[in-house]
Amino acid sequence: MWTSKTISFTLFITTILLASCNASAKAKTQPLFPAILIFGDSTVDTGNNNYPSQTIFRAKHVPYGIDLPNHSPNGRFSNGKIFSDIIATKLNIKQFVPPFLQPNLTDQEIVTGVCFASAGAGYDDQTSLTTQAIRVSEQPNMFKSYIARLKSIVGDKKAMKIINNALVVVSAGPNDFILNYYEVPSWRRMYPSISDYQDFVLNRLNNFVKELYSLGCRKILVGGLPPMGCLPIQMTAQFRNVLRFCLEQENRDSVLYNQKLQKLLPQTQASLTGSKILYSDVYDPMMEMLQNPSKYGFKETTRGCCGTGFLETSFMCNAYSSMCQNRSEFLFFDSIHPSEATYNYIGNVLDTKIRGWLKA
DSSP for 65-107? Answer: TTTSTT----S-SSSS--HHHHHHHHTTS-S---BTTSTT--H
In the chain, the percentage of residues whose pLDDT exceeds 90 is 85
How far does Cα 112 stand from its chain's mean position? 17
Q: What is the mean pLDDT of the chain?
A: 92
Q: How many CB atoms lie within 10 A of CB 275?
A: 17
b/e for 82-92, b at 16 or more Cβ within 10 A? bbbbbbbbbbe
Average the pLDDT over 282-297 and give the result. Answer: 98
For residue range 241-273, what is the model confidence (pLDDT) as tens digits?
677 899 999 999 999 999 999 999 999 999 999
Distance between CA atoms of 96 and 74, rounded to whole angstroms?
Answer: 11
| C-beta separation of 122 from 172 below 8 A | yes
Average the pLDDT over 75-96 and give the result. Answer: 97
CATH topology for 36-228+247-282+341-359? Rossmann fold (3.40.50)
pLDDT given for residue 66 in this prediction: 97
Average the pLDDT over 121-145 and give the result. Answer: 96
Average the pLDDT over 292-316 and give the result. Answer: 96
For residue range 318-331, what is the model confidence (pLDDT) as tens digits?
999 999 999 999 99
Catalytic residues: 42, 334, 337
Global pTM value: 0.92
pLDDT given for residue 7 in this prediction: 47
- Alpha helices, H only, the chain: 4-29, 83-90, 107-112, 125-131, 139-154, 156-165, 174-176, 185-190, 194-214, 232-237, 248-271, 283-291, 340-359
